[in-house]
Chain A
């Protein structure tokens, strides 16, 4: 069994040194908790990752919440959540103060403008690959929903939350009721 302190330290370390979000941090967590320490079985870990992806929020935080819950119940979940959130919280707090001070520095401004260009490209590329991946399953359903949501989001003042709830319900009704009856 693992102690709360160990659980905290392990999760904190993973969160502090892993850059690049969910797709890089989840394999590291798996490596630590499944391979090295054998605290969680591989199958269980895959289930946890699947559940992590079914809730809103970042996959990295969600996975660590579930690891904590699996190992030590709700208290464990609180410990791992705190340990995961703490490193970025500290780092970004420091950066925020510098950001305000550096806003008038022309060199930093120039660097940030260049970075804005890069992030546009990164996001464009990400949207493209996400779209391609999504269209791999249920191609027509996904394509139609994608176009409808894009048009509604662009041309109407319907709130984002309403669009999200609406599309979730559409999936629930389409796949839960219609498809199951046909098959």
Chain B
């Protein structure tokens, strides 16, 4: 049953996306894109960009997007609930423990190990998404120069410049990318 499958998949994703923000991407790539093939890597790149321009964290936005795509509105609701449920339960337990003992030393130690690992996992997901963005070939496995996607390369370069040089916020950067894409298409 698709609802149950969605629910369980997003419970796993919710339970292991430590670090917030992009930390959910490697999990979604593994479970939603590769294992279930509910969305493509390109669609994951799209929802990540759309996420930057709408309120709400990437995890919630991606859960809703995938759920709606796979099983309509209720799919979206169920995937989103699944995504939030593990942290909800864990946080109530942690908060209860903390209010009682007012320290979370062991959790801090776990996090010291998690942080560097999460950076690497996000880096791996970012590499996949960058490859799919810069090469238009559907499977992304034919990295020849003919298939290079000009507008994505130009907007990636311009975006990087705007980020480093002017510290432009991500909404602005994505908007610039969209405009570059349209201009290059029109000429």
Contact = CB atoms under 8 A, between A and B. Distances in A.
Interface residues on chain A, size class? 35 or more
A145 interface: yes
Contacts of B112: 137-138, 141, 171, 174-175
Nearest to B90: A55
B147 to A, nearest CB: 13
A154 B46 contact: no
Nearest to A114: B181
A18 to B, nearest CB: 6
B122 A127 contact: yes
Interface residues on chain B, size class? 35 or more
Contacts of B56: 15, 60, 85, 87-89, 91-92
Interface in B111-150: 111-126, 129-130, 132-134, 136, 149
B155 A117 contact: yes
A146 B119 contact: yes
Interface string A1-32: 00000000000000111111110000000000
A116 B119 contact: no
Interface in A46-64: 47-48, 50-62
A145 B30 CA distance: 21
Given A89-B80, A95-B50, A111 B130 contact: no
Interface in B64-103: 64-65, 68-69, 73, 76-77, 80, 83-84, 86-88, 90-92, 94-95, 98
B53 interface: yes
Contacts of B106: 172, 176
B77 A89 contact: yes
B119 A130 contact: yes
B159 interface: yes
A101 interface: no
Given A58-B59, A70-B95, A110-B186, 16 more contacts: A21-B57, A22-B20, A50-B104, A56-B86, A112-B46, A113-B151, A114-B178, A116-B42, A119-B49, A122-B52, A126-B122, A130-B119, A164-B18, A172-B109, A172-B110, A175-B108
Interface of B: 12, 14-24, 26-27, 30, 42, 45-46, 48-50, 52-61, 64-65, 68-69, 73, 76-77, 80, 83-84, 86-88, 90-92, 94-95, 98, 104-126, 129-130, 132-134, 136, 149, 151-157, 159-160, 163-164, 169-171, 173-174, 176-182, 184-186
